Amino acid sequence: MNPTITLAYGNGGEENHQLISQVFYKAFANDILASSEDAAIIYGGELAFSTDSFTVSPLFFSGGDIGKLAICGTCNDLAMMGAKPKYLTCSVIIEEGFSTYELEKIVQSMKRELEINDAIIVSGDTKVVPRGSVDKIFINTTGIGEVLQKGISSNTISQDDVIVLNRDIGCHGATIFVAREGMQINSTLKSDCDSLFPQVKALIDSGIKITAMRDATRGGVSAVLNEWSRQSNICIEVQETKIPISDEVNGICEILGFEATTLANEGTFVLAVKKEDANKAIKILQTFENCSQATIIGKVTKRHLKKVILHTNWGTSRFLEMPNGELLPRIC
């Protein structure tokens, strides 16, 4: 690691993995933490527990704001472990001079998203700091959820599974970049920021055999697939033509040289499900708004262990690497 922390260490990719494993996991080592899941499974497998901090810039963007993001982020992490979000805490650090009107808008967004998840805020903390100490407002949310389906884990993916995506990718990262840079584009591009528990509950209620789930936030789909290949000691082979990407996101990527697979998402998740349940899972997902493009994007093999292979549109293949370097800072 570098002697100093750079923005790259918060990108959700290779540097972020180094920071977590070499500093935090090393100091706080225990079996629960070592599982490296979206949420910790505690209390004999009955509860899921997760925490997250949000520092997005700008605070308000097409499709959401930092308040909606904060509730979605923590509730989605719980949902990815098959848990129903129940109780959340909310800690807020506010910069002196911040608009009360904007604060109320943010809180109302949080309230609406809590209602979607049928969850409540039960505790919190508020700090106000001098100008320049933070960038406007930082929010931390911690959540506890009731596990509805046990055994979901990114450490148990096998060749019996296929890889499914619930919708098109990259919308959040592209939206945040456009908003931050003040780019004037004529499009319907907006963040995919959304609560995922309703989709997860529908899958569980239908008896889908879910091996693993993960929302593709920082580092995007590329980071998720690489994390899974390492955790389960497998190879994941993905068909590029099967990955749904909107024309708007494709356009942003072509103009700025981004890869859609590394762009952040806030309402997009990856599933490993048993082959026999894959088509049923896709049909269920396609009943939800914005999920009409839910599809199988890949399979699990033993070809190159702990690697992700991307079969390109041109008939060639290459490794889809873990993202590295400074990607899009402040996307969540």
Instruction: Please state, in angstroms and rounded to a whole number, the distance separating the CA atoms of residues 183 and 107.
Output: 28
Chain centroid, CA 248 distance in Å: 20
pLDDT score, position 189: 93
Determine contact, residues 198/288, Cβ cutoff 8 Å.
yes
pLDDT score, position 155: 98
Q: Is the predicted pLDDT of residue 329 greater than 70, yes or no?
A: no
* Tokens linked to 199: 């989709």
User: DSSP states of 235-286 as a string?
Assistant: EEEEEGGGS---HHHHHHHHHHT--GGGS--SS-EEEEEEGGGHHHHHHHHT
**Domains within the chain, CATH numbers bracketed:** 7-147 (3.30.1330.10), 161-319 (3.90.650.10)
Side-chain half-sphere CA neighbours of 230 within 13 A: 14
pLDDT score, position 328: 63
Q: Is the predicted pLDDT of residue 27 greater than 80, yes or no?
A: yes
Across 197-223, average pLDDT: 97
Determine contact, residues 216/269, Cβ cutoff 8 Å.
yes
**End-to-end CA gap in the chain:** 24
Closest CA to 298 of 322, 317, 285, 283: 317
Instruction: Please state, in angstroms and rounded to a whole number, the distance separating the CA atoms of residues 98 and 302.
Output: 53
pTM: 0.96
Q: Is the predicted pLDDT of residue 186 greater than 80, yes or no?
A: no
Across 170-178, average pLDDT: 94
Q: Is the predicted pLDDT of residue 49 greater than 70, yes or no?
A: yes
Q: Is the predicted pLDDT of residue 138 greater than 90, yes or no?
A: yes
Residue in the block written with tokens 């396609």: 286
Q: What are phi and psi of 257, to 5 degrees?
A: 80, 20
Cis omega (within 30 of 0) for bond into 58: yes
Q: What is the pLDDT of residues 247-296, one digit of tens each?
A: 999 999 998 889 999 999 999 999 999 999 999 999 999 999 999 999 99
Q: Is the predicted pLDDT of residue 321 greater than 70, yes or no?
A: yes
